[in-house]
Amino acid sequence: MDAPFVYVVRFWLHPDGAAAILHWLDSKHMAEVVAQPGFRSLRRVRLDQDSEDGWQAYMMIYGLESREALQRYFDSPAPQRYAQERKPFEQHLRLGRDRFFHRLTVRTMQTLDVLGISGSLREKSYNTALLREAARLAPAGMSIEIASIRDVPLYDADLEACGFPAGALQLCERVARADALLIATPEYNFSIPGVLKNAIDWLSRPPHDARLKGKPVAIVGAGGRLGSARAQYHLRQVCGCLSMLPVPRPEIFIASAWEKFDDGRLTDQAAARQVEELLAALAEWTRLLQRAAHA
């Protein structure tokens, strides 16, 4: 399921006596939320916003298929029952602290739109399969679409002078719209395949266009003995020329790809975990750069 929206519940815990009560809220209310249709995963994040008097800030993150899923949840019996239970709960809290509910906030955040580009046109490409698996493993709040570079013609300055051909233009527009890129590259003769370099050459035109400048990009690759490592380093070099910003780590070199995929699925659990780690790093990297751009 795609999760184009995330639902964030911010809450505070106190390390002294309130912990048991708040655990009740965790396990009950939070479990009810995640059981809702249209809600996906759940992650608890410790925030760097503790209050002076010892309350520790957290947020719970849920992936949502649509805004309607959130509305359906609010209209369902669970939050209404929760509201009814809130009064005695507040009375109970008042014995100790009563600020918890004042601080409970709900908001939706914009999803991260990631565009996947494979450097292989092959139907049974491991690299394209890797992108499909990444889309499946994407964390809440990230959606990954895959763009084909099959219709991008060979770069020719005369062709460019007559106006961008449709295939190149379409790719440029999709890249411009994306918050970040995920490029999966095979290794051809110790470097990146010509089709990928050709697509990047179109994306780099005209030179003053800002569509690649500062664009966050995660690089992965599947292939032979070195898992496309040499190609990935060449790709990082090209990114540097274009002022793109590759996620520094983790690096993912899926070596002996034929042993790690079965019928297009990534069956190697260690590799799947690495992909999840890279996507989490991409999300963090992209949000960091977005914050810096708006600071």
- The conformation of residue 155, written as its DSSP 8-state character, comes to P
Evaluate whether 127 touches 258 at the Cβ level (below 8 Å): no
Nearest-approach distance from CB 266 to ligand FMN, in angstroms:
13
HEC profile of 72-94: HHHHCHHHHHHHHHHHHHHHHHH
State which residue, 114 or 222, has the beta carbon closest to ligand FMN: 222
Nearest-approach distance from CB 253 to ligand FMN, in angstroms:
10
State which residue, 120 or 286, has the beta carbon closest to ligand FMN: 120
Evaluate whether 122 touches 182 at the Cβ level (below 8 Å): no
State which residue, 138 or 229, has the beta carbon closest to ligand FMN: 229
Query: What sign does the CA torsion over 219, 220, 226, 231 have?
Result: negative
- 134, 150, 152: which is closest to 142 by C-alpha? 134
Q: Which spans of this chain sit near ligand FMN (rule: CB under 6 A)?
A: 120, 122, 125-127, 186-190, 223-226, 257
User: Tokens for 140?
Assistant: 């809440």
Nearest-approach distance from CB 256 to ligand FMN, in angstroms:
10
Nearest-approach distance from CB 260 to ligand FMN, in angstroms:
11
- 105, 168, 166, 109: which is closest to 139 by C-alpha? 109
- Cα distance between residue 282 and residue 142, in whole Å: 10
Give the sheet arrangement for strand 105-110, strand by strand.
39-46, 56-64, 5-13, 105-110
State which residue, 19 or 121, has the beta carbon closest to ligand FMN: 121
State which residue, 61 or 275, has the beta carbon closest to ligand FMN: 275
- The conformation of residue 61, written as its DSSP 8-state character, comes to E
State which residue, 3 or 147, has the beta carbon closest to ligand FMN: 147
Nearest-approach distance from CB 195 to ligand FMN, in angstroms:
10
Nearest-approach distance from CB 226 to ligand FMN, in angstroms:
6
- DSSP characters over 32-52: HHHTSTTEEEEEEEE-S---T
State which residue, 232 or 286, has the beta carbon closest to ligand FMN: 232
Nearest-approach distance from CB 169 to ligand FMN, in angstroms:
25
State which residue, 208 or 225, has the beta carbon closest to ligand FMN: 225
Which contacts qualify for 98-105: CB closer than 8 Å, 24 or more apart? 99/12, 99/55, 100/11, 100/12, 100/18, 100/22, 103/10, 103/11, 103/12, 103/55, 104/9, 104/10, 104/11, 105/9, 105/10
Nearest-approach distance from CB 125 to ligand FMN, in angstroms:
3
